[in-house]
């Protein structure tokens, strides 16, 4: 027998053993007694065989994947290429998968898990029905089921994570995987993700929990005459260690959206999960008011950095004067202009792009609401930059620790506070469980997806960042109301 036939035979035998044990237990339950000696022996023997079959089935499935059944191969007749091609005609079928938009593959996995209530076997079955058994979604979920979950049918399924030991661990590292694809979709949406792309200098990538020693002030060298004493050189150093911190948001979706198989529904799932993380990362990375919370979140890179007031609603000359003052502060701290990046609001960049001179020519070519270049300096934009703030950042002097993955959990039974801030329902504290207003996911036919990303950042030195406040370049916007 080939591997498929052996698997089928052992699965049939396993089913008969399980049925026999079920009969034994039902008989004992009907009599209201425990198993006698012969029943115990038969039950234990059946169970031992079931466990042995499970282990053997795992080996058979592994061999089935890595072996070729030569009995199904058709010899190619003929001595010439055209004769061989004629033999092969109609016997080789190549199925190609349609190329999905970034993040849609991940959204499909999320929807299947949501409909299956976290059961990987049911999720694989649903993916096969919905997207076809030749789809990437089915293949991924089937692979997870085949690699151990078939023997844990009623066990709790852990949260999908890219961390070691999770069911999603093997989805990481492959640039075409669903998780990697979603992270690639999320990354360019954030300020952090735009560093290192499109000619913008990269942040300094570092690992978690590794002490980082940086020189914050340089020493001086001296000319020394023959026989003269040599002056001492003094250096200042700082020690930084980035601990793993997590940013998390909950995206709530209705059952109708989860079950809808249309491409627009998949895009809603993807965009909801991405937006849940994007806003928090951007706000806390750039907002000068964001201070550090020990063990919870880092301070923004602008918190405590030197800053100055802008000229306000000035013309193009005032804009250039503001940029010059910002650069003077930046360069005076020995920051190289080549690694400098400007970060501003999208509407600020749009206002710059609309400024023209008396001849109707653009004052600042190369910049738009999506970024670009301003006076030769790369620009990153985000709608989450505080109003009136424009920051100049030395990318090489900002540490970034990022595991590059995302963790996902889901629930249909939870009750959550439908707020984006000032949550009161902590599980610990003086008055635990005092949520102001909660909504039942079960009662509203909704599914809550908890998305988490492990990340941390820090300035290498305070002077690595300088920013302007009160920026209103381009003048006030007319009120259309």
Cβ-based neighbours of 284, under 8 Å, separated by 6 or more: 247, 290, 297, 298, 300
Place of tokens 């004992």: 28
pLDDT of residue 79: 60
For the stretch 229-276, pLDDT in tens is: 877 665 555 667 888 888 777 777 777 777 776 667 677 777 776 776
| Cβ neighbourhood burial of 260 (10 Å; 0-12, 13-18, 19+) | middle
Structure-token match 């989450």, residue found: 384
Dump the DSSP string for 317-365. Answer: HHHHHHHHHHHHHHHHTT--GGGEEEEEEHHHHHHHHT-B-TTS-BSST
Q: Which pLDDT score, from 0 to 100, does residue 176 have?
A: 39
Q: Beta strand 390-394 with 367-368: parallel, antiparallel or unpaired? A: unpaired
pLDDT in tens, the chain (481 residues): 788 888 888 988 988 898 888 888 888 888 888 888 889 999 999 999 999 999 999 888 888 877 755 555 556 555 665 555 555 555 555 555 666 776 677 777 777 877 777 677 788 888 888 888 878 778 777 777 776 543 223 333 344 444 444 434 443 333 335 555 565 566 567 888 889 888 899 998 888 887 776 655 555 677 888 888 877 665 555 667 888 888 777 777 777 777 776 667 677 777 776 776 777 888 899 999 999 988 889 999 999 999 989 986 678 889 999 999 999 888 888 888 889 999 999 999 999 999 998 888 999 999 999 999 999 999 999 988 999 999 999 999 999 998 766 676 777 777 766 555 444 444 444 444 444 567 787 777 787 777 777 889 999 888 899 999 999 887 665 554 5
Residue 73 has what pLDDT? 56
* Domain boundaries defined on the chain: 3-66, 104-187, 190-218+237-418+438-481
Between CA 277 and CA 279 the distance in angstroms is 6
CA dihedral 246, 252, 257, 258 (to 10 degrees): 60
Measured between alpha carbons, how far is residue 172 from residues 143, 178, 208, 325, 329 in Å?
14, 9, 18, 45, 42
The pLDDT score that the predictor gives to residue 461 is: 84
**Pairing relationship of beta strands 371-374 and 236-240 according to DSSP bridges:** unpaired
Query: Whole-structure pTM over 0.75, yes or no?
Result: no
Q: CA 246 to CA 254: how far, in whole Å?
A: 26
The SS3 of residue 264 is helix
Cβ atoms of 107 and 266 closer than 8 Å: yes
Q: Is the dihedral of CA 305, 311, 315, 318 positive or negative?
A: negative
H helix or E strand, kind and range, residue 127:
helix 120-131
Q: Which residues pair with 214 in a beta bridge?
A: 238
* Per-residue pLDDT at 19: 87
Residue with tokens 């908890």: 450
For residues 180 and 106, what is the distance between their CA atoms, to the nearest angstrom? 9
DSSP state of 154: T
190-218+237-418+438-481: in CATH 3.40.190: no
Angle formed by the axes of helices 120-131 and 136-146, nearest 10°: 160
CA distance 320 to 327: 10
Look at the alpha carbons of 112, 117, 122, 126 in this order and tell me if their dihedral is positive or negative.
Answer: negative
Helix residue ranges, H only, 255-315: 255-259, 263-286
């Amino acid at each position: 027998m080939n591997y498929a036939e052996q698997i089928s035979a052992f699965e049939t035998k396993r089913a008969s053993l399980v049925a026999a044990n079920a009969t034994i237990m039902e008989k004992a339950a009907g009599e209201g007694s425990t198993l006698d000696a012969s029943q115990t022996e038969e039950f234990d023997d059946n169970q031992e065989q079931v466990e042995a079959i499970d282990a053997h089935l795992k080996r058979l499935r592994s061999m089935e994947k890595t072996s070729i059944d030569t009995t199904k191969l058709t010899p190619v007749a003929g001595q010439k290429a055209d004769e061989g091609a004629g033999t092969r005609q109609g016997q080789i079928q190549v199925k190609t998968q349609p190329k999905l938009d970034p993040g849609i593959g991940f959204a499909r996995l999320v929807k299947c898990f949501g409909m299956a209530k976290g059961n990987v076997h049911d999720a694989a079955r649903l993916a096969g029905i919905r997207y076809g058994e030749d789809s990437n979604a089915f293949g991924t979920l089937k692979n997870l089921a085949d690699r151990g979950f078939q023997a844990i049918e009623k066990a709790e399924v852990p949260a999908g994570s890219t961390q070691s030991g999770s069911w999603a661990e093997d989805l990481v590292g492959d640039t075409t995987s669903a998780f990697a694809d979603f992270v690639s979709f999320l990354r360019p949406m954030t300020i952090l993700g735009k560093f290192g792309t499109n000619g913008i200098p990269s942040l300094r990538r570092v690992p978690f929990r590794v002490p980082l020693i940086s020189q914050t002030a340089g020493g001086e060298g001296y000319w020394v005459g023959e026989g003269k004493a040599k002056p001492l050189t003094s250096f200042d150093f700082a020690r930084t260690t980035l601990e793993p911190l997590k940013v998390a948001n909950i995206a709530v979706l209705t059952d109708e959206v989860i079950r809808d198989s249309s491409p627009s529904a998949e895009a809603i799932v993807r965009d909801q999960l991405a937006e849940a993380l994007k806003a928090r990362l951007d706000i806390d990375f750039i907002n000068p008011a964001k201070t550090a919370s020990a063990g919870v979140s880092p301070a923004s890179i602008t918190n405590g950095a030197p800053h100055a007031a802008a000229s306000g609603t000035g013309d193009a000359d005032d804009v250039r004067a503001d940029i010059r003052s910002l650069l003077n502060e930046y360069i005076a701290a020995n920051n190289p202009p080549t690694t400098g990046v400007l970060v501003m609001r999208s509407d600020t960049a749009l206002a710059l792009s609309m400024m023209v001179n008396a001849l109707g020519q653009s004052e600042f070519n190369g910049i738009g609401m999506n970024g670009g270049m301003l006076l030769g300096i790369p620009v990153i934009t985000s709608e989450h930059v505080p109003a009136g703030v424009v920051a100049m950042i030395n990318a090489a002097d900002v540490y970034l620790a990022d595991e590059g993955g995302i963790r996902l959990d889901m629930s249909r039974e939870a009750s959550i506070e439908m707020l984006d801030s000032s949550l009161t329902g902590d599980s610990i504290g003086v008055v635990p469980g005092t949520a102001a207003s909660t909504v039942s996911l079960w009662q509203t036919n909704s599914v809550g997806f908890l998305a988490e990303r492990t990340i941390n950042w820090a300035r290498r030195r305070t002077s690595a960042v300088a920013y302007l406040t009160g920026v209103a370049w381009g003048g006030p916007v007319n009120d259309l109301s």
